[in-house]
A = this chain, B = another copy of it.
Amino acid sequence: VADGGGADSRARGPGGRGAGLTREAIVATALELMDRHGVEWLTMRRLADHIGVRAGALYWHFSNKDELCQAVVERVANDLEWRAVAVDAPVRDQIEAHVRQLRAHWRRHPTAVTLGRRFPPSGAGAFGDVGVELLGRLGYRGDEAKEQWRALVWIVLGFFFVEDSLASSVHHHPLEGAPGRFEVDVGSGPSLLDTDALFDRVLDLALDGLTAGAPRRR
């Protein structure tokens, strides 16, 4: 999309065209900076600084900051890829594996979780279809499968939100070098919290509930 050769596409001096700014480049930088420093840290001026441009320039590509944030979420959502799980495995394990891939993906981009609260990605699309289909194999049919899938998604999404809130919480301090581990100081002295173990527990609870409540098993 640059105008000429393959030269460095930034900071080509004041005025006129030539910075070679694109929506994709802006989104990529924004995502990178937010994943590193947190969502609140990023301002339009700081983003512009890191790109080598003035803040006003961003407003030619995005009509406002919200639109930019939405594009960031959309980008991460579109990057979601998942492997189909072994079809011969027990259905419960397949659902579990399916959901775990969702968690793994959002974990790589905590930014998207934070922003996703205000700007939910539009396309749950194909990923959701697989989920609904898996629930169908558990015995749920039609709308019932869709609703149960939605409930499961809310549980998982809710877990992400709670986990995400710990990062900015006053009482929780992340342990360095140990992602998913927090020190909690509340009431009777500091204690430890392992969100990975807790996620296992929550997921088990939900899956136990799904299998227990299923109309029939196959």
CB distance from A64 to the nearest CB of B (A): 12
Question: Which of A12-20, A51-59, A206-214 sits within the interface?
Answer: A206-214
Q: Which A residues from 117 to 151 make CB contacts under 8 A with B?
A: 117-120, 122-125, 147-148, 150-151
Residues of B within 8 A of A171 (CB): 120, 122
Nearest-Cβ distance from residue A191 to partner chain B, whole angstroms: 11
Q: Say which residue of B161, B169, B213 sits within 8 Å of A208 (CB atoms).
A: B213
Expressed in whole angstroms, the Cα–Cα distance for A211 and B96 within the complex equals 20
What is the number of residues of chain A that contact chain B, defined by CB distance less than 8 Å? Answer: 46
In chain A between 146 and 175, which residues have their CB closer than 8 angstroms to a CB of chain B?
A: 147-148, 150-152, 154-155, 157-162, 164-165, 168-172
Say yes or no: B206 contacts A165, CB within 8 Å. Answer: no
User: A94-136 toward B: CB 8 Å interface, digit per residue (1/0)?
Assistant: 0000000000000000000000111110111100000000000
Minimum CB–CB distance from A168 to chain B (whole Å) comes to 5
Q: Which residues of B contact A186 (CB under 8 A)?
A: 120, 122, 124
Cα distance, A206 to B110, chains bound together (Å)? 26
Determine chain A's interface SS by DSSP, over half rule: helix
Complex Cα–Cα for A155 and B123 (A): 24
Q: Does A205 contact B (CB under 8 A)?
A: yes
Take A119-B169, A168-B117, A170-B118 as given contacts and tell me if A209 and B198 are in contact as well, using a CB distance cutoff of 8 Å.
Answer: no
A205 close to B157 (CB less than 8 A) = no
Q: How far is the CA of A118 from the CA of B170 in the complex (A)?
A: 7
Closest to A197 in B: B147
Which residues of A are interface residues toward B (Cβ below 8 A)?
66, 70, 116-120, 122-125, 147-148, 150-152, 154-155, 157-162, 164-165, 168-172, 186-187, 198, 201-202, 204-213
